[in-house]
A and B are shown apart, each in its own frame.
Chain A
Amino acid sequence: GESVGLHLPTLSVQEGDNSIINCAYSNSASDYFIWYKQESGKGPQFIIDIRSNMDKRQGQRVTVLLNKTVKHLSLQIAATQPGDSAVYFCAENNRPGTASKLTFGTGTRLQVTL
């Protein structure tokens, strides 16, 4: 079936550097994407979302880029901090136009070194 996947299982970055986490999705009909951060022992925490009619959206220290041509999504974190260490998941809405289930990727672990 359709799936969302990530290229890198673990990403190590130095504190202060920028991080880029990538995600490939296969359902070309998906129209809504979300990035979540999950810390150990906790639930996924919403970071930022983007609709398919946009190619970029910025939040506080985070930017999500969407390339529909190659079905690629990325999360950029500026000036990465130790508190950013976590597993990051991208997720897509399986039923465009309605509230529905999300399909999650397998996750990328971000390790911030001092």
Chain B
Amino acid sequence: NAGVMQNPRHLVRRRGQEARLRCSPMKGHSHVYWYRQLPEEGLKFMVYLQKENIIDESGMPKERFSAEFPKEGPSILRIQQVVRGDSAAYFCASSPGAGANQPQHFGDGTRLSIL
């Protein structure tokens, strides 16, 4: 019974490059959430997606960041032209459906380092 799977676990990029982070939700889960965490801080919401739709992107910067959750395949968080400030741990969570009060289950994150 696989949990939320994220890859890669660690990603190193140089300034100006693109970063692609992947997330496969738990089986049967159709809702995906992306969060960002800086060291010694709590998680900050970025974006919430259902299959093929962005539901809430209020926490995602308007420039350079994008997210998708296609009909087939994992959800992708894409960061273009990365800068040093993008260094962080990015976590993906999933939940089963549209009902309220269902816990989000997290993957082990991708640690992005920008050189």
Contacts and interface: CB of A to CB of B under 8 A. Distances in A.
Interface of A: 4, 31-32, 34, 36, 41-46, 49, 51, 89, 91, 93, 96-107
Contacts, number: 71
B100 A104 contact: no
Query: From DSSP, what is the main secondary structure of chain B's interface residues?
Result: loop
Interface residues of B, number: 31
Contacts of B6: 43
Nearest to A48: B103
A90 to B, nearest CB: 9
Interface of B: 4, 6, 31, 33, 35, 40-45, 48, 56, 58-59, 91, 93, 95, 97-109
10 contacts: A34-B103, A41-B108, A43-B91, A46-B103, A46-B104, A93-B100, A99-B99, A101-B33, A106-B42, A107-B42
A97 to B, nearest CB: 5
Nearest to A96: B100
